[in-house]
Structure 1
């Protein structure tokens, strides 16, 4: 007989250390010859990311030991940080990567005995320095093409971005004069993709105040033997058309994802008469997404294969891998249990490699053999010392929000194989708000969620209006309505769960980080629905965040989320939780990284100064060495324990397995 225990008091084998160890996942896939390489998180090593190599015999090998940290800071969210060639170093592999602490490009020959990374680019003492992202190796030209972000002053927006060619011989290691500029003219650029014949390059560009999911331009140029690109022309995209990725097919066609029809769909431009023919839809009539928001440079939702096939992610709300016949439009999904594929794909011959997860397994490196249709785990296999019976099972739900609009969510009820609740008790629930806000919650195992559900606390992840995965109209519901639609949609889910008897209406919490932290704080200031909140590295004051306290990439984001400040400056103050601390009455936990350049500590500190002395129970934990999103194991453990301690205290659930959380007033 299963023992009973009040919700929130259940024991669980999913400890904070295990959840922290599984934070982050393989990313930035690529191939070096027939080998598959990727970056992997190391929470226990100060949160660095290393480069992993999968040998032919199946062994995973760490290419770069600590303290090397393979991660770019371009646009703060970074991008693909490495590239490799199997024969560029005298018949041996050559790898070029970005080292996070100094943001320099380094070259490394992993199979050369005694070799160490050597710098290819110099340091700069101006502002944020020189930063590089999404390197493209071209050994035949003796260079690597990158996006260069160069600070020209001390302010976060005093910078420029260009496409640059860095010599592989190290001649630019001390002086940037040896770096060649290939293209520019726009505030934001992606790395150029070189055509199969090497004669043309294609990339994406956009400018303030647009974000890349608002409108981008696809540019194509000729590649001369020397000097910058020539003949730059726009071939797709526009002010109201978002193209987040382009790639050349083997026949010289240019494949791209466009949302001109209301969904990110695959299209192609065939060469002819010295230019391109009209765009052709490759898989028409499917109301689903074949791409997503371009938050990091080098994201890959599709990769062309030989013979006219395209490996592509697609879906509504979640993304799965399919193989698309570009001629017939036939789409066949990869077999297997994986319900969520990350926007990082690589191809090698007939093989497609990606990073995939499911509600029963974390993110793994998966290979699909397109000849046989067989899919298998290739690397980083899911392996937890926990009985999967403790994992939560997601319920895919669609709720009704204001105006009868649909609100998509994933509901994870409390679940444990060795505990049940007594009598008619209803469980506490945490509404979990994703960041972005242009993003969504993945359909994948998250031990940060299982940490709570296995202890008797339910979780509901809300893809509120503004989320991706449901078409352009759904994500544009948030246009001018940030702090309204997101708050309303989360509240609609919470109320529905309470009204149907799934959740205890007196024990509802809200939790979010970054933009999700904004929604959580705004919910405390505008509703009386939640008993408490956990707010992580949030936006709290729109007036200062939009101009002075954030990075260049998002410095004009509020133009679409709230509206042009020049047209309605009062709206910025009215929406900001920092200016309505008198309305906040529920306890909250505020977590902040002290090195956060996106949502800096000043946002949290001003909010706390205004809440002080108002009698609102709260706790503030600030972490040195952490930026926007926590990466270190000790930080992740402390944050999880503090969050559970808050819920235990507010919900009246006795727990002895976490340090008590002292709440100030």
Structure 2
């Protein structure tokens, strides 16, 4: 029976605890022998990342118990945190990074009862210490090769990065001098090494401030001597205005790399004469932004075929014949494939999600073309009739520019609203800002839509997935284009009669938190906003209030500080709190080193006494991105409470949110 009830007041089986329990996705897949391994979120276990092993009989097990946390902090966003190899006796040898101390550890899970990980790297008391990512195990050399990030002083920018070799025998666990440095340090940022099949050459990616990796990177190629040292490193692809996010090798020893030299990340192969051939030139993305090290959008197979993640907006897993250019996509309901691929023989393993399923570990057999879920299988914790039905929309913004968005109308199988009522809507601004909102099932979205509140995820100008021109709309226009695009979508939904123009909200985290705060300053579209671990003061963030990786990001997003200081002041929400009239909720992790709480505290101090209702909820032990179940529950319930109060929704099951003025 369908009951009539006002939008926002509908009951729902999708609670905050359920949404929190399903937060996150599997990542960093690998194949060891006949087993598939990956990392997985554990919100109920302090937000740690577990290492999961799927045996050939289909059973899954967490290899390391709590509190082991398989996650790297290199460039703060991390990267591939583990690698492994199969020993001669068939047992696995693992190397992984433990989040609390950032040391590399070796572990032999089949060594018998009581087998414990043993440290491979030392601890440093200087600044952020020693950190490691993107490892490759070379058992024959007795080493693991990886990226070393070493702090040389107390400031976040007192840091150097090189490719290093760590002994597997543990001799460097207390002795930094036992770590061999392989690259020459010419670049401030590097990815992990990729060895040619014959072991004679190695390739990696490097770049320098003020470029971000989606602006311009360089492929380095070096010879490997018998003693394992690198020689004669040279740049063979990429450049200051050409982004290369991945390199690799074909089975017959030819170099592969992704490049956006045409305006789209496409796949290239270095031919015998040194030329670079585009293997499947299309106005599609075969790559993405390198926010974490060790991402893989392509993976060569022994047969010569290449598995690729590609698409325009949504992504698919395809198998590419590099000689003919023929590309065949895997069948299935998935609309978003993560940039993590592993191959073994004729199998390709990845992570995929869709509008009706969360992220799963999926295997494609290239012999048969069949796909199957092999790990972290999605199951419906509630009747899927409560899930939203997304709409892929393209809106028109200022100057007629296209704006891509996903619209999730309110949806419930047993509730409908009075005929004349229009629903409230929340515009979601994704982080990055060089990022993308994927079209996948998100129980946080369903938490709102199943209660009668619509959601519109906006892939504003600057988002990835639509080519470099779309991505660079945000160049020196951050706080303008993103704000305008989100407002254009909100207004369009109201003008067409989809949303209630008096009950529009905006929310976002990180860069999305910036867009939310800037929208409350520069727009009168929204009745309220939820600001989550945001950037609020551009000048402070540009000088010394963030980490090294993004410390010069604003050169492209705003302009060089020494050239346009007034622009930094004009764009910063902190400098214009008097323009904010709408209620807001500010959520902040107190351990956040990317968007530090000091910015939130300065912002709140300036808002005090201005008569604008607002709430501040801070979380101890949380960094950039909430990972603990109790945090996510409190944050989601507080956000709903803001909308209930601001939109005049009648609900009695929402914890009280105390608003101050």
So what's the TM-score if we normalise by structure 2?
0.99
- Secondary structure, aligned partner of 1:292: coil
My pick for the range that moved more, 655-664 or 214-223, is 655-664
- The corresponding residue for 1:150 is 150
- The corresponding residue for 2:16 is 16
Taking the aligned partners of 2:533 and 2:348, their CA distance within structure 1 comes to: 36
- Secondary structure, aligned partner of 2:339: strand
Taking the aligned partners of 2:424 and 2:346, their CA distance within structure 1 comes to: 49
Contact kept? 1:542, 1:576, Cα under 8 Å: yes
- Secondary structure, aligned partner of 1:67: coil
Taking the aligned partners of 2:79 and 2:381, their CA distance within structure 1 comes to: 32
Q: CA RMSD in A?
A: 0.8
Taking the aligned partners of 1:108 and 1:547, their CA distance within structure 2 comes to: 41
- The corresponding residue for 1:612 is 608
2:213 is equivalent to residue 216 of structure 1? no
2:238 is equivalent to residue 203 of structure 1? no
Among candidates 343, 363, 366, match of residue 367 of structure 1: 363
Taking the aligned partners of 1:228 and 1:494, their CA distance within structure 2 comes to: 57
Give per-residue Cα distances to partners, 1:394-426, cap 9 Å, x unaligned.
Answer: 100000000100000000000000000012100
Q: Name stretches of at least 5 consecutive residues in structure 2 with no aligned partner.
A: none
Taking the aligned partners of 1:393 and 1:58, their CA distance within structure 2 comes to: 32
Q: CA deviation at 1:655?
A: 1.3
2:290 is equivalent to residue 291 of structure 1? no
- The corresponding residue for 2:260 is 259
- The corresponding residue for 2:104 is 105
Contact kept? 2:430, 2:437, Cα under 8 Å: yes
Taking the aligned partners of 1:571 and 1:358, their CA distance within structure 2 comes to: 40
2:35 is equivalent to residue 35 of structure 1? yes
Q: CA deviation at 1:91?
A: 4.8
Give per-residue Cα distances to partners, 1:539-594, cap 9 Å, x unaligned.
Answer: 00000001210000000000000011111111001100000000001000000000
- The corresponding residue for 1:626 is 622
2:458 is equivalent to residue 458 of structure 1? no
Contact kept? 1:356, 1:366, Cα under 8 Å: yes
- The corresponding residue for 1:478 is 474
Give per-residue Cα distances to partners, 1:324-382, cap 9 Å, x unaligned.
Answer: 11000011100111111111111111000000011000000000000000000001000
Taking the aligned partners of 1:118 and 1:433, their CA distance within structure 2 comes to: 42
Q: CA deviation at 1:227?
A: 5.4
- The corresponding residue for 1:569 is 565
- The corresponding residue for 2:131 is 131
- The corresponding residue for 2:275 is 278
Taking the aligned partners of 1:116 and 1:656, their CA distance within structure 2 comes to: 50
Q: CA deviation at 1:384?
A: 2.6
2:239 is equivalent to residue 242 of structure 1? no
2:56 is equivalent to residue 60 of structure 1? no
Contact kept? 1:512, 1:534, Cα under 8 Å: yes
- The corresponding residue for 2:181 is 181
Among candidates 492, 500, 515, match of residue 496 of structure 1: 492
Q: CA deviation at 1:212?
A: 0.2
Give per-residue Cα distances to partners, 1:601-652, cap 9 Å, x unaligned.
Answer: 0010000000000001000000000000000000000000000000000011
- The corresponding residue for 1:159 is 159
Give per-residue Cα distances to partners, 1:91-116, cap 9 Å, x unaligned.
Answer: 52100000000000000000001210
Taking the aligned partners of 1:510 and 1:587, their CA distance within structure 2 comes to: 11
Contact kept? 2:410, 2:453, Cα under 8 Å: yes
Taking the aligned partners of 1:478 and 1:559, their CA distance within structure 2 comes to: 12
TM alignment of 1:217-616, pairs within 5 A: 217-226=218-227, 228-270=229-271, 272=272, 277-284=274-281, 286-616=282-612
Give per-residue Cα distances to partners, 1:434-457, cap 9 Å, x unaligned.
Answer: 000000101110000000000000
Taking the aligned partners of 1:512 and 1:449, their CA distance within structure 2 comes to: 12
Give per-residue Cα distances to partners, 1:192-245, cap 9 Å, x unaligned.
Answer: 100000000000000000000000000100111225310101110001100000
Taking the aligned partners of 2:420 and 2:305, their CA distance within structure 1 comes to: 55
- Secondary structure, aligned partner of 1:436: coil
Taking the aligned partners of 1:423 and 1:660, their CA distance within structure 2 comes to: 30
2:95 is equivalent to residue 96 of structure 1? yes
Taking the aligned partners of 2:358 and 2:650, their CA distance within structure 1 comes to: 30
- Secondary structure, aligned partner of 2:4: coil
In the alignment of these two chains, the number of paired residues is: 659
Contact kept? 1:308, 1:327, Cα under 8 Å: no
Give per-residue Cα distances to partners, 1:105-141, cap 9 Å, x unaligned.
Answer: 0000000012100000000000000000011000011
Taking the aligned partners of 2:142 and 2:529, their CA distance within structure 1 comes to: 54
- Secondary structure, aligned partner of 2:87: strand
Taking the aligned partners of 1:627 and 1:567, their CA distance within structure 2 comes to: 32
Taking the aligned partners of 2:355 and 2:564, their CA distance within structure 1 comes to: 44
- The corresponding residue for 1:6 is 6
- Secondary structure, aligned partner of 2:3: coil
Taking the aligned partners of 1:380 and 1:86, their CA distance within structure 2 comes to: 23
Q: CA deviation at 1:2?
A: 1.0
Taking the aligned partners of 2:410 and 2:283, their CA distance within structure 1 comes to: 33
Taking the aligned partners of 2:513 and 2:571, their CA distance within structure 1 comes to: 14
Taking the aligned partners of 2:328 and 2:596, their CA distance within structure 1 comes to: 45
Contact kept? 1:28, 1:38, Cα under 8 Å: yes
- Secondary structure, aligned partner of 1:344: coil
Contact kept? 2:542, 2:561, Cα under 8 Å: no
Taking the aligned partners of 2:168 and 2:249, their CA distance within structure 1 comes to: 24
Taking the aligned partners of 2:90 and 2:53, their CA distance within structure 1 comes to: 18
Taking the aligned partners of 2:339 and 2:18, their CA distance within structure 1 comes to: 25
- Secondary structure, aligned partner of 1:306: coil
- Secondary structure, aligned partner of 1:663: coil
Contact kept? 1:187, 1:206, Cα under 8 Å: yes
| Segments ≥4 residues shifted beyond 4 Å | none
- Secondary structure, aligned partner of 1:537: strand
Contact kept? 2:34, 2:55, Cα under 8 Å: no
Taking the aligned partners of 1:458 and 1:393, their CA distance within structure 2 comes to: 11
- Secondary structure, aligned partner of 1:191: coil
Contact kept? 2:299, 2:308, Cα under 8 Å: yes
Taking the aligned partners of 1:307 and 1:227, their CA distance within structure 2 comes to: 29
- The corresponding residue for 1:45 is 45
Contact kept? 1:180, 1:227, Cα under 8 Å: no
Give per-residue Cα distances to partners, 1:65-95, cap 9 Å, x unaligned.
Answer: 000000000000000000011116x652100
Taking the aligned partners of 2:254 and 2:390, their CA distance within structure 1 comes to: 41
Taking the aligned partners of 2:637 and 2:654, their CA distance within structure 1 comes to: 6
Q: Name stretches of at least 5 consecutive residues in structure 1 with no aligned partner.
A: none
